[in-house]
Amino acid sequence: MSNKDMDKFDKRIDKERIRDKDRDTLKVIESVFDFQTSMLIVKLMNNGVIKDIGFCVSTGKEANVYHGYGYKNEELAIKIYRTTTAEFKKNWMYVEGDPRFKGYKKGTYSFIYTWARKELKNLKRMEKVNIRAPSPIIVTKNVLVMEFIGKNQEAAPLLKEVKLKKANKTYSDVIDMMFRLYQDGRLIHADLSEYNILFYKKNPVFIDVSQSVLLDHPYAPAFLYRDISNINRYFASQGVETDTDDEIYEQITGTLPSPKVKSIEF
């Protein structure tokens, strides 16, 4: 932040009567995020959504996730999408083919706000059909608040970080979740791998679903096939005797993948 922005920030805090401890909390993000994002956190505090925001759970090219608490002392995951990254330019195809977001603007800020809303909508859809994923709470511009997967400030590990005792069962669970997401949720994760699955209470939990697409997206079949390939590759490396990519695709969709679907590269 510039000195000018910091002055504005302090004046707004005084005006809105933010407590000293809340000002300290905001220092966690001041060095990373812009003035507007900081003020969104202030508003979420004032509106009774966030009581406290603390340490960074994970960092990524598109967003950082912070641990926080709500006013019922429930643990929260606060995902703050970066507004200065070029990574989002690679993601337009996930939105352009989604009928839920027709007419979105391609400006950086507009797209990032759309991207955040898309994750909220996808999480709601997953929750509705009982797919294990963080329960969404609210999104405002580039800030998404959702359930924290973990306990006592300890985040659940990524699947890639876990030494699985029952790898075959976990593999079956993931394939079943993909099947139910497709058949019941009419949705495809579209970036599924060991990096976007948490392992909590002996169960896989899908995360990072902004890019997830409906079945009528023009690239939906290719995204699904890529997800299957990623999952099979990982579990094969863990000693699991997996079905072939084509077999899993047929199990999920009821049809075999076309040569075109198998040949598309992203």
What residues act catalytically?
Answer: 191, 208
The dihedral of CA 4, 7, 9, 12: what is its sign?
A: negative
Q: What is the 3-state secondary structure (H, E, C) of the chain?
A: CCHHHHHHHHHHHHHCCCCHHHHHHHHHHHCCCCHHHHHHHHHHHHCCCCCEEEEEEEECCCEEEEEEECCCCCEEEEEEECCCCCHHHHHHHHHHCCHHHCCCCCCHHHHHHHHHHHHHHHHHHHHHCCCCCCCEEEEECCEEEEECCEECCEECCEHHHCCCCCHHHHHHHHHHHHHHHHHCCCEECCCCCCCCEEEECCEEEECCCCCCEECCCCCHHHHHHHHHHHHHHHHHHCCCCCCCHHHHHHHHHCCCCCHHHHHCCC
C-alpha 264/C-alpha 247 separation (Å) is 18
Q: How many CA atoms lie within 13 A of 110 on its CB side?
A: 9
